[in-house]
């Protein structure tokens, strides 16, 4: 056996001794397509379907759209409207312009842009005419979202008309966000804990005073 052949065999063994890296079987590659292309036949079918609302991108933490300073009745008004709209097809919804005033956004005139709440890779998939708004009533605020065939993805709830500053509604309004039930309980617990600590301090002061008085009596 020649030295050349022996060298090749050693290199081959060295290469085989290093195991190949393998990807785990359960690894998942995320699908970043939110709004896939549809066939014309599928588009026509969806336009005959009733409207469905999605809250996948709803942002209630945005300071302008956190629904702070809103009465409980406004939320009933909101759901009354969403219920009625869900009985319509998108074509029927578009025809009720005088009532719901469905139309696209002119972001050159808005105080905010969807990019403040929605990931960039999502917005890249949406054409401008599908970034829409509709009103609940003339003074009941608006809903801002993305339209995709018969689905409306709600992004912001706008009871105070903060999206479009307008003389009729005054300057933008900012309120603390409403508390969730568990947050209210946490605040109540914190309040009671503070009261308990204050009572414990008062009791300690009384016991110390009584002990001092007993000590003076015995002396």
Q: What percent of the chain has a predicted confidence (pLDDT) above 90?
A: 53
Backbone angles phi, psi at 114, to 5 degrees: -55, -25
Residue 51 has pLDDT above 50, yes or no: yes
Q: Which of 164, 178, 169, 159 is nearest to 113 (CA)?
A: 164
Mean pLDDT of the chain: 86
Q: What percent of the chain has a predicted confidence (pLDDT) above 70?
A: 85
Cα dihedral 83, 86, 88, 91 sign: positive
> pLDDT for 115-168, tens place per residue?
999 999 999 999 999 999 999 987 789 999 999 999 999 999 999 999 987 777
> pLDDT for 4-46, tens place per residue?
555 555 555 554 455 555 545 554 545 578 888 888 898 889 9
Alpha helices (runs of H) in the chain, residue ranges in sequence order = 3-16, 40-47, 72-85, 90-95, 97-100, 120-123, 181-218
pTM for the model stands at: 0.73
Helix (H) or strand (E) run with residue 168 in it: none
């Amino acid at each position: 056996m020649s030295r050349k052949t022996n060298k090749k065999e050693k290199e081959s063994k060295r290469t085989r001794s290093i195991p190949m890296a393998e990807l785990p079987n359960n690894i998942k590659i995320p699908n970043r397509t939110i709004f896939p292309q549809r066939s014309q036949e599928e588009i026509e079918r969806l336009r005959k379907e009733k409207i469905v609302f999605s809250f996948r991108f709803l942002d209630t933490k945005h300071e302008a759209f956190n629904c702070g300073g809103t009465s409980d009745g406004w939320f009933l008004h909101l759901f009354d409207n969403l219920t009625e709209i869900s009985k319509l097809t998108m074509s029927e919804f578009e025809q009720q312009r005088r009532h719901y005033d469905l139309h696209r956004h002119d972001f050159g005139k808005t105080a905010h842009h969807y990019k403040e709440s929605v990931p960039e890779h999502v917005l890249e998939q949406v054409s401008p005419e599908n970034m829409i708004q509709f009103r609940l009533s003339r003074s009941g605020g608006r809903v801002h979202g993305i339209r995709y065939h018969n689905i409306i993805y709600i992004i912001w709830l706008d009871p105070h008309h903060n999206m479009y500053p307008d003389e009729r509604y005054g300057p933008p309004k900012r309120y603390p966000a409403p508390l969730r039930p568990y947050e209210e309980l946490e605040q109540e617990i914190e309040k009671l804990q503070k009261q308990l600590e204050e009572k414990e301090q008062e009791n300690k002061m009384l016991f110390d005073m009584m002990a001092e008085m007993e000590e003076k009596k015995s002396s």
